[in-house]
Each structure stands twice: as C-alpha cells, then as structure tokens.
C-alpha cells in the first residue's frame, strides 16, 4: 500500500488515533489505543512510521497498519515529548519522570538518558542534530550536548514557572520558550566554538493571559516570512511576526484549550488540536478556518502532519 502524500493524524483522550484526509476532512482510519492517553504524535521523516507518546511507553506504528510494530518502554511516567533525528535513525523523548532519553530505532532499549530532576514537558532537537534542548516543570531549560554527552547550558527564564513548550528556528538562529504565565522568552543563539552555549536574550513576549500549551516557529519553506504560533488555554492561537514580534493574526474558532499546532511544510497552513474535540485547518494568509476535523469524542490533544517530500536516499 502506498503512502499518502499528506499524512495528518490526531490523538485524543478518547484513546484513539485518527488519520484524516486533510482536504476533505474525512477520517479514513482509526487506531484504538487502550493503554493510556496519547500525549504527543510525531511522524518519521520518511513518512513510514508514527510515534505515539503515552504513559509510560512510546509506541511506533507503521503508517499503514493498526498495530504497533515496536514499543519503547523505559520511561516511568507520561512521555510528553517525542521527535526524530533528520535521517530517522534515532528518536528522542522527554517524560514527567524527569528524564530525556535517546533511542536507536534499529535496536531495542534506550541508548542514552539525561536527568533533568523535574518533570520534562518539552524537548526539541537543534537543527545541527547534535544538541537537545529540554524544558521542565520547575522552569529549567537545559541544553544536552550529544557529542560531549553532557549538559552544556542551563537557563531559568522565570523561577518556578513551568516551561510548557520550546521551538527552534529551522536555521538554528532563535529559540523560543513558552510558559504557564502566557509568556514567550526569545533568545538569539550565537554560534561560538560550542555551537549553542550562548543564549542572547532577544525579546520577552506577553502573548496570552492563559497558559501557552505550544509554541512553534515556521518552517524553512515559509521564508522570507517568519512566524511564531502560540496555542493557548484561552482557546485562541496567535500568529506573531518574528521580525519585531508584532501580532499578525489571532485564530478564533476553537471553543476550549488549544493543545497543539503544526505548520504545513510551506508555512501556508496551520493545523491545531483542541479540548473542544476538534482539529482545525487554518489559512495563514487569511487567518480563517478552512476545515474542521470532527470525530473524536473527547479532548483532542495532539496532532502531527507530514506533507513534505521524503528525504532523498543517498
């Protein structure tokens, strides 16, 4: 069976993962996930697999099959973050058990573990593919240098204020951290001899009155436009122009918390997931809702989209 060119998946507190036709809004497949809620979904760069981060495991599904082909099991609490290295050779995860882990997809077990000492809410991979950045419940941001196998940098933007979400610009020039007070901290990443140890404070953005549950910078093919999307408990998503951090648009339509968002590969669209049970497709140029994905029976808390080309095999 061939891979669809656009893969859109959502997961909900109703213990299902759903796959959607992005244009028509039709749900064409539902995977039952009885073991736990799914906190995060991520699609591999080659579009062959979907990772579902649950409690306390991560399950890897073939995109065309309903049963997991692999389970990654050494976390001991909710896995809040999951992602892949650009070639899809390894996966990283962050959990409320206070650890960040690295998994070789071709081998069983966890290859590396880093101790954050507080529940990890978010982990992102720097585009250089050699550093992970984590944010935790106590407000710590840490850079894990995979080459040196150690923590190379530690920041606390706001003491005792949980860092909910981190995002890095595709070229490695900026990092944004969003917290429970509705604030985004923006740093310029200065390339020293150590690629990323220098965080230069650039901006503090009071984006929402409620929690920010997800922040996301726009992808490479969105250039020359650069946006920051912030999804909030106030039921809106705001789109900020990275040049000056001015508010471009407010996406209004969800009725409850907006937990997750993902850009299309060209940055022309945004997909969002909400406690109102729906996921929605938005036009970035108009700020208007273009499609509502309805089918989940409880809060939809994460979404994953892959509408780009697979990496060419060398």
Q: Is residue 2 part of a domain?
A: no
Q: Is the dihedral of CA 156, 237, 46, 53 positive or negative?
A: positive
Q: Is residue 314 part of a domain?
A: no
Provide the pLDDT for residue 86: 95
Given a contact cutoff of 8 angstroms between Cβ atoms, the answer to whether 287 and 270 are in contact is no
E strands present in 13-78: 16-20, 27-32, 40-43, 49-53, 58-62, 68-72
Q: Is the pLDDT of residue 75 over 50?
A: yes
Q: Is residue 67 part of a domain?
A: yes
Q: Is residue 172 part of a domain?
A: yes
Q: Kindly list the distances between the CA atom of residue 149 and the CA atoms of 131, 132, 145, 194, 196, in Å, as whole numbers in the listed order.
A: 9, 11, 5, 13, 14
Provide the pLDDT for residue 140: 97
Q: Is residue 162 part of a domain?
A: yes
**Average pLDDT for the chain:** 94
Provide the pLDDT for residue 125: 97
Q: Kindly list the distances between the CA atom of residue 301 and the CA atoms of 15, 66, 173, 257, 263, in Å, as whole numbers in the listed order.
A: 11, 20, 29, 9, 16
* pLDDT tens column, 263-311: 999 999 999 999 999 999 999 999 999 999 999 999 999 999 999 877 6
Provide the domain limits for residue 71: 7-306
For residue 224, whether the previous peptide bond is cis, meaning omega lies within 30 degrees of 0, is: yes
Q: Is residue 36 part of a domain?
A: yes
* pLDDT tens column, 167-226: 999 999 999 999 999 999 999 988 655 555 689 999 999 999 999 999 999 999 999 999
- Listed residue (248, 309, 263, 256) closest to 278, CA to CA: 256
Measured distance between the N- and C-terminal CA atoms of the chain, rounded to whole angstroms: 24
Q: What is the tally of structural domains in the chain?
A: 1
Provide the pLDDT for residue 2: 59
Task: Categorize the per-residue pLDDT at 314 as very low, low, confident or very high, splitting at 50, 70 and 90.
Answer: very low
* pLDDT tens column, 221-266: 999 999 999 999 999 999 999 999 999 999 999 999 999 999 999 9
* pLDDT tens column, 111-136: 999 999 999 999 999 999 999 999 99
Q: Is residue 252 part of a domain?
A: yes
Q: Is residue 312 part of a domain?
A: no
CATH number at residue 248: 2.130.10.10
- Listed residue (1, 27, 2) closest to 303, CA to CA: 27
Given a contact cutoff of 8 angstroms between Cβ atoms, the answer to whether 169 and 226 are in contact is yes
């Amino acid at each position: 069976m061939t891979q669809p060119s656009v893969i859109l998946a959502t997961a909900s507190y109703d213990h299902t993962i759903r796959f959607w036709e992005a244009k028509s809004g039709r749900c064409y497949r539902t995977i039952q996930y009885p073991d736990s809620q799914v906190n995060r979904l991520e699609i591999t760069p080659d579009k062959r697999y979907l990772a579902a981060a649950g409690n306390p495991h991560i399950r890897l599904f073939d995109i065309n099959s309903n049963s997991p082909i692999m389970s990654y099991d050494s976390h001991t609490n909710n896995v809040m973050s999951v992602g892949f290295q650009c070639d899809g050779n390894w996966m990283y995860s962050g959990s409320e058990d206070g650890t960040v882990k690295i998994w070789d997809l071709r081998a069983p077990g966890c290859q590396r573990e880093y101790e954050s000492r507080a529940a990890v809410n978010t982990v992102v991979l720097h585009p250089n593919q050699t550093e992970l950045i984590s944010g935790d419940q106590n407000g710590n941001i840490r850079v894990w240098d995979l080459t040196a196998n150690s923590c190379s940098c530690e920041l606390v933007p706001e003491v005792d204020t949980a860092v909910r979400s981190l995002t890095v610009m595709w070229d490695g020039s900026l990092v944004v951290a969003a917290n429970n007070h509705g604030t985004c901290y923006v740093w310029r990443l200065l390339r020293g001899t150590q690629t990323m140890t220098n965080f230069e404070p650039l901006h503090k953005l009071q984006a929402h009155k409620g929690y920010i549950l997800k922040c996301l910078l726009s992808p490479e093919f969105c250039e020359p436009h650069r946006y920051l999307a912030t999804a909030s408990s106030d039921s809106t998503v705001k789109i900020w122009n990275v040049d000056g951090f001015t508010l471009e648009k407010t996406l209004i339509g969800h009725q409850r918390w907006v937990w997750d968002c993902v850009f299309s590969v060209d940055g022309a669209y945004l997909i969002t997931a909400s406690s109102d049970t729906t996921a929605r497709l938005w036009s970035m140029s108009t700020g208007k809702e273009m499609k509502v994905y309805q089918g989940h029976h409880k809060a939809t808390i994460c979404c994953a989209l892959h509408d780009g080309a697979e990496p060419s095999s060398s």
